[in-house]
Amino acid sequence: MSELKLNSPLQYVKGVGPKKAEFLQTLGFQTVNDILFFFPRSYLDRTSVTDIAKLSPDTYVTIIGKVKSHGLLYGRKKRYEVILEDATGAITLTWFHGIRYWEKLFKKNQIFACSGLVGSYFGMQMVHPDMERLEDESDTMIHSGRIIPVYPQTAELSKAGLNSKMMRRITTYIFENLTENIKDFLPKKVIHSTKLLSLNNSLKTIHYPENREEVEQSRRRLSFNELLDFQFMVFMRKKRKNRITKKHSYTPNKKLFSDFKKNLPFELTSGQEKALHEIIADLQNESPMSRMLQGDVGCGKTVVAVLAALFAAHSKLQTAFMAPTEILAEQHYRNWNSVLNEFGITSRLLTSSQKTADKKKTIELCQKGEIDILFGTHALIYDSVVFKKLGFVIIDEQHRFGVEQRSRLYAKGDNPDLLVMTATPIPRTLTLTLYGDLDISTIDSLPSGRQPIQTVWRAGDVRDKVYKYVLDDVQKGGQSYIVYPLIEKSEMVQLENVEDAYKRLTASTFKDISVGMVHGKIKPKVRDEIIQNFFDGSIDVLMATTVIEVGLDNPNATIMVIEHAERFGLAQLHQLRGRIGRGSKKSTLVAIAHPPLTEIATKRLEYFTSTTDGFKISEADLELRGPGELFGLRQSGELRFQNVRLGDDKDLLETSRKLLEYLFQNENKLDSDYKKLHSYLVKNVNKELIELGGA
């Protein structure tokens, strides 16, 4: 069969056949159309191949060379290494996974093109690069001036013989024999006004671009598609929630709030009061509340959430208050338990590391309705945890939870009110786009008495001076954090790690002071004891990984040192900074960076030291990260984007949102072109709505 249509089964594509087609069906590829939406993950650009001698760390490059040697190596981690050389030099290629596959792949003097990020570990190195076997140095698949696609690869695809080279043969055959164009769901006037490619052209050029400009043009059109799909789902979710009438209600009590506030050791800021007013008003609506409370680190979101939970408890409703870490959940419980008790409100803590008897008792009390506010971690979503009347769900640092986790907690009530909190301020455009189904409350001011945190970044050679600064502060009664990127030594990257640093420093520079160490592999009971000792002042310096990024509130800790700060994202650096400056004392953060520094890393550090405003930080992070991960959203399951670059596509965010607003506002009077778009979007996102409906 030489003529193909979009709905043609894949078995009729040359190079596939019944057996491969059956396998592809298990991966969701049934027709020609499905393969066209299997996008390349990168490209090999023969016009921009870099000589190995000219490589520098932290750059993404394409190189071509011959296999000089290869073999399996043992150490802390087993790895497979290949020495690839060209006329100018050699580089080490390293794999830690799929070793059996790589053992069979390489032979001496074979020619490979590979693309990846250059690292430095006893010489230049690439870890898990994209590989392309060339038949000889004039391989037509990678001739001068040609950009070729590299497709996502898995062990299953490789086993079936569906590597990048085979996928190129398949897609080439499809484009040569496809007898129909891919129909576009966008109205022509929209394509014209947005200056985007047609869907047909974008799909052809995303697979086989003539140059880098075509790659970007295609990506932008496909990005627009994804943004439309995602935002349509958000619009539909909000529309559906607004139609629900909740069965529970709240009883106003101004005196309760007034008395509770008088008991606080501080006054609420105007921002906190405004946010609380918005939340309380929303709780009294007929539809369930879906609201995000955002604000900078240390702005006082928790007290606002606790006041709202107090309002629910007074109305005979239970509150589930879920935090991402045991440290944070325990801190919330410890800070508020006794205060709530004074007002007759019962609170308990539930975490996975508690003793079985304690967990069982808490679960029993919760089911009987004898707990008003249950603080906890993901342990709250266990099937055994049942609420008698769950009316209010609070999720702290919500982006650290997946959609399924949030949905399971929400489902423990009958359309409860939902408040999600984040200490990572999100730019307004993204807030509207990614959280359009949520109402937003923003606390834009810090408690009075807080002093700005002096922030500087320095090269690694000043480390001894920084440690002396820490020692001097300890002599004056101060406390410090020192943060590291790794728990233990890694063969993949040469970075400082907390375990080796702890052994070294406690035997030398810090031998006369009290030092503690915490990281993710320390048992919760031991970790909690160390952290409590730090709070109590019996530990002077706490050495840690980013496990302390949220949840530690020690007003006496006024110094933070971050090792290898060039390796942290801007938003994460700002989150870490939020662990100091919690009191009225002057605080200082020293970010230590180690060369070689990329241009992006330098910009990030310079911006980090220039402002402590979380909202400005979030805007800069969006600009600097480009297509990278942002705010943990992709890990959480919120984003399923393949082509969207949040930093680059803000114009597409706005345009797609305006288009959807037009569709929803004119739903009953759309012309045929817009009706076709609306029908396409409804069909395309229905599955997503079912999967994410409770989130």
Q: Residue written as tokens 């739903």?
A: 667
Residues 235 and 246: their CA atoms lie apart, in Å, by 20
pLDDT of 290: 92
- Condensed to tens digits (0 to 9), the pLDDT of residues 455-487 reads 999 988 889 999 999 999 999 999 999 999 988
Close Cβ partners of 333 (under 8 Å, ≥ 6 residues apart): 347, 348, 349, 375
Q: Are 643 and 223 spatial neighbours (Cβ–Cβ below 8 Å)? A: yes
Residues 33 and 36: their CA atoms lie apart, in Å, by 5
E strands, 272-423, are 290-295, 318-322, 347-350, 373-376, 390-395, 417-422
Which of 414, 489, 442 shows the shortest CA–CA distance to 245? 414
For the record, the structure tokens of 668 come out as 């009953």
Close Cβ partners of 101 (under 8 Å, ≥ 6 residues apart): 155, 158
Residues 549 and 599: their CA atoms lie apart, in Å, by 25
Choice between 381 and 423, residue whose per-residue pLDDT is larger: 381
Q: 596: cis peptide before it, omega within 30°?
A: yes
**Would you call 495 helix, strand, or coil by DSSP?**
coil
Q: b vs e for 393-414, b when ≥16 Cβ sit within 10 Å of the residue's Cβ?
A: bbbbbbbbbeeebbbbbbebbe
Residues 226 and 635: their CA atoms lie apart, in Å, by 17
**Would you call 625 helix, strand, or coil by DSSP?**
helix
Q: Are 597 and 567 spatial neighbours (Cβ–Cβ below 8 Å)? A: no
Q: What is the mean pLDDT of residues 616-629?
A: 67
Q: Are 397 and 550 spatial neighbours (Cβ–Cβ below 8 Å)? A: yes
Q: What is the mean pLDDT of residues 519-530?
A: 88
**Would you call 308 helix, strand, or coil by DSSP?**
helix
Residues 196 and 205: their CA atoms lie apart, in Å, by 13
- Condensed to tens digits (0 to 9), the pLDDT of residues 86-122 reads 999 999 999 887 788 788 889 999 998 888 889 877 7
For the record, the structure tokens of 242 come out as 């607004």
Half-sphere CA count of 390, side-chain side, radius 13 A: 22
Query: What are residue 458's DSSP bridge partners?
Result: 592
Neighbours of 233 (CB within 10 A): 23
Q: What is the mean pLDDT of residues 57-73?
A: 89
| Per-domain boundaries in the chain | 42-150, 181-231+649-695, 254-443, 453-611
Close Cβ partners of 26 (under 8 Å, ≥ 6 residues apart): none
pLDDT of 490: 66
H or E element that contains 690: helix 672-692
Is the pLDDT at 283 greater than 70, yes or no?
yes
Q: Are 311 and 276 spatial neighbours (Cβ–Cβ below 8 Å)? A: no
For the record, the structure tokens of 130 come out as 């994209």
Residues 182 and 205: their CA atoms lie apart, in Å, by 13
Which stretch, 28-37, 264-273, 355-364, has highest mean pLDDT? Answer: 355-364
Distances (CA, A) of 238 to 159, 283, 533: 44, 16, 46
Name the pTM for this structure: 0.76
- Per-residue pLDDT band at 530 (split at 50, 70, 90): very high
Residues 274 and 178: their CA atoms lie apart, in Å, by 59
Q: Are 673 and 187 spatial neighbours (Cβ–Cβ below 8 Å)? A: yes
Choice between 325 and 154, residue whose per-residue pLDDT is larger: 325
Which of 417, 416, 424 shows the shortest CA–CA distance to 301? 424
**Would you call 470 helix, strand, or coil by DSSP?**
helix
Phi, psi of 423 (to 5 degrees): -95, 10
- Per-residue pLDDT band at 692 (split at 50, 70, 90): very low
Residues 240 and 414: their CA atoms lie apart, in Å, by 15
Which of 296, 288, 295, 148 shows the shortest CA–CA distance to 209? 148
CATH class as words, domain 42-150: mainly beta
Task: Return the CATH architecture of domain 453-611.
Answer: 3-Layer(aba) Sandwich (3.40)
Distances (CA, A) of 141 to 35, 50, 202, 204, 293: 20, 18, 21, 17, 53
The percentage of residues in the chain with a pLDDT greater than 70, rounded to a whole number, is: 92
Residues 508 and 160: their CA atoms lie apart, in Å, by 56
Q: What is the mean pLDDT of residues 4-13?
A: 92
Q: What does the DSSP 8-state code read for residue 666?
A: T
Is the pLDDT at 688 greater than 70, yes or no?
no
* Average pLDDT along the chain: 87
- Condensed to tens digits (0 to 9), the pLDDT of residues 158-200 reads 777 788 888 888 999 999 999 999 999 999 999 999 999 999 9
Residues 112 and 115: their CA atoms lie apart, in Å, by 10
- Condensed to tens digits (0 to 9), the pLDDT of residues 302-355 reads 999 999 999 999 999 999 999 988 888 998 999 999 999 999 999 999 999 899
Task: Return the CATH architecture of domain 254-443.
Answer: 3-Layer(aba) Sandwich (3.40)
For the record, the structure tokens of 117 come out as 């990020």
Is the pLDDT at 267 greater than 50, yes or no?
yes
Domains 254-443 and 453-611 share a fold: yes
Q: What is the mean pLDDT of residues 549-553?
A: 78
